[in-house]
Structure 1
Amino acid sequence: MDSRARYEHPLEAIETMVEAKINEVHTSEPCTVVSVDFEKQTAVLQPVNKTLVRKPDGTTEWVLKPQIPDVPLQFPHGGGSSTTYPMKPGDEVLASMASRSQDVWQQNGGEQQIVDARVHDLSNAFCMIGFRSNPKALPAVSSISSQVRSDDAQHIIDHNPLTGTTVTSKGTKVAIRSDSVFLNAGDPYAV
C-alpha cells in the first residue's frame, strides 16, 4: 500500500490513483530476445527494466516484468525487397507498444476491427531490431559509409559515396551464386 493512501487528504489520494494508472501505460521497453520463431516472424521478449512491486506487508521488491510472447519482428521491407537478421536469444531489441491491440491485424493482415480494449499494454508490442546498450555497442562503425557487416567487422559490404562499394571477407571466401554473372569495370550503367 502506498503510504499516501493512509492519509485523508483528497489530493494525495487522487495523485496516488493517477500515478498507479500511469504506471500501467507502456510505450517502449528495452528487452532481450528469449526465443525466435522465424516461420511466424515473431519472438518472445524479456523486458530488462525491473519494476518496483509493493507487497501486502508494505515492503517492496524489484522484479522483472513478465515475458512478452508472440511479438512481431521488424524486418525492413518495401517494393518487393526485404532485409532480414539472424536474431538469437540474448540479442538486445526495443519493444514498441502499439496504442491499441494488433492481434487481429497480425493474424489476418489488412484493415481490421479492434476486438480488444487494451491500451499501451505490454502485449501490444512490436520488436524493433538494432538497438544496443553501451556495453554491447557495435565496434568500428563507419561514419562515412553504409555497411552490411558482421558484428566483429570481419565481413563487410561497404557502400561509400566517394570510393564505391567494397566487399571484405577476412579468412573466408566470397561466393556469388547466380545463373550468370556480369562484371563491368567501365560504364556503370552498361548491362
Structure 2
Amino acid sequence: MGVPISERLGKGNNEEFYRRMLENFASNLRVAAPGIIQEFNPVTQTVSVQVAIREKIIDPDMLQHWVEIPLLLDVPIIIPRAGGFALTLPVKPGDECLVIFADSCIDAWFSSGGVQNQIERRRHDLSDGFALLGVWSQPRTLQDYSMSSVQIRTDDGATRISMSPGEIDIVASVVKINGVPWRN
C-alpha cells in the first residue's frame, strides 16, 4: 500500500500548525464582551468594567484554569448623543454593559478628539474598549415592558413617562416643571 498524499506532502502537520496558529490568534482577538460596571467617573464619563466572562487557559503542565480578565480602566461610555443633545444616565456600580473593542488604539483620539495618528499599533486590545450601556442579562429583565408606548422609566416602572400616538402619560410621586411663564 502507498503512503497517502497528505502524509507525503506533510499536509497533516501543516493543518495542525495552522489550526494552532489560528486558535492562538483567535484567543487574543477581542471584539465584544459583556461586563459589569465597578465604578463611574462623571467628570471623564468613563467606567471601570469587570468583563463578565472568564477565560479558560491551559498552563505549561496542560492543566486548565478559569481566570478573570483584569479590570478594564478608563473605558469611555456610549450613550445616545447627537445634534447638541444627550440622554444622560445615572450609571451605577453593578450596571451591566457590553464592552466593544476598537480596531485600533484609541488613546490619541480619546484625549484630543478629531482625526489622530495611532500612538501604538495594536488591534482589538483590552485597553481600547467602549462601554455600551443598556445591555442586561436575563436576571435583570424589565418587568411590564411596554409593547404599546415609548417609555423613559425606572427599572421597577414606578416612575415613568410614556408616549403613544396622541398621548403622553407621566407617572411619578412628584412632577416639577420649571421655565419662563408663557405669555400671549
Given the two structures, how large is their TM-score scaled by the length of structure 1?
A: 0.86
CA drift of 1:177 comes to 2.1
After the TM superposition, which parts of structure 1 deviate over 4 Å for at least 4 consecutive aligned residues?
Answer: none
Please give the secondary structure, in 2, of the residue aligned with 1:9: helix
Q: Deviations over 1:45-99 (max 9, x none)?
A: 1101110011122111111111111100112111111101101111110001111
Among residues 80, 84, 91, which one is paired with 1:87 in the alignment? Answer: 91
- Structure 1 residue identity aligned to 2:135: F
Q: Which residue does the alignment assign to 1:167?
A: 170
- Distance in 2 (alpha carbons) for counterparts of 1:15 and 1:100: 25
CA drift of 1:181 comes to 5.6
Please give the secondary structure, in 2, of the residue aligned with 1:158: strand
Matches within 5 A, 1:93-172: 93-161=97-165, 163-169=166-172, 172=173
Q: Which runs of 5+ in 1 are unaligned?
A: 1-7, 183-190
- Distance in 2 (alpha carbons) for counterparts of 1:26 and 1:181: 54
Please give the secondary structure, in 2, of the residue aligned with 1:138: coil
* 1:65 maps onto 2:66 in alignment: no
CA drift of 1:32 comes to 0.3
- Distance in 2 (alpha carbons) for counterparts of 1:119 and 1:131: 24
Compared with structure 1, are the counterparts of its residues 173 and 105 closer, same or farther at alpha carbon in structure 2 (3 Å cutoff)? same
Q: Which residue does the alignment assign to 1:44?
A: 48
Q: Which residue does the alignment assign to 1:177?
A: 178
Q: Which residue does the alignment assign to 2:6?
A: none
**How many percent identity over aligned positions?**
30
Among residues 75, 79, 92, which one is paired with 2:79 in the alignment? Answer: 75
Q: 116-125 or 26-35: which moved more?
A: 116-125
Please give the secondary structure, in 2, of the residue aligned with 1:23: helix
* 1:9 maps onto 2:6 in alignment: no
Q: Which residue does the alignment assign to 1:26?
A: 30
CA RMSD of aligned residues (A): 1.6
Q: 24-33 or 137-146: which moved more?
A: 137-146
Given the two structures, how large is their TM-score scaled by the length of structure 2?
A: 0.89
- Structure 1 residue identity aligned to 2:145: V
- Structure 2 residue identity aligned to 1:38: P
- Distance in 2 (alpha carbons) for counterparts of 1:180 and 1:78: 29
- Structure 1 residue identity aligned to 2:147: S
- Distance in 1 (alpha carbons) for counterparts of 2:126 and 2:148: 37
Q: Which runs of 5+ in 2 are unaligned?
A: 1-11
CA drift of 1:152 comes to 0.5
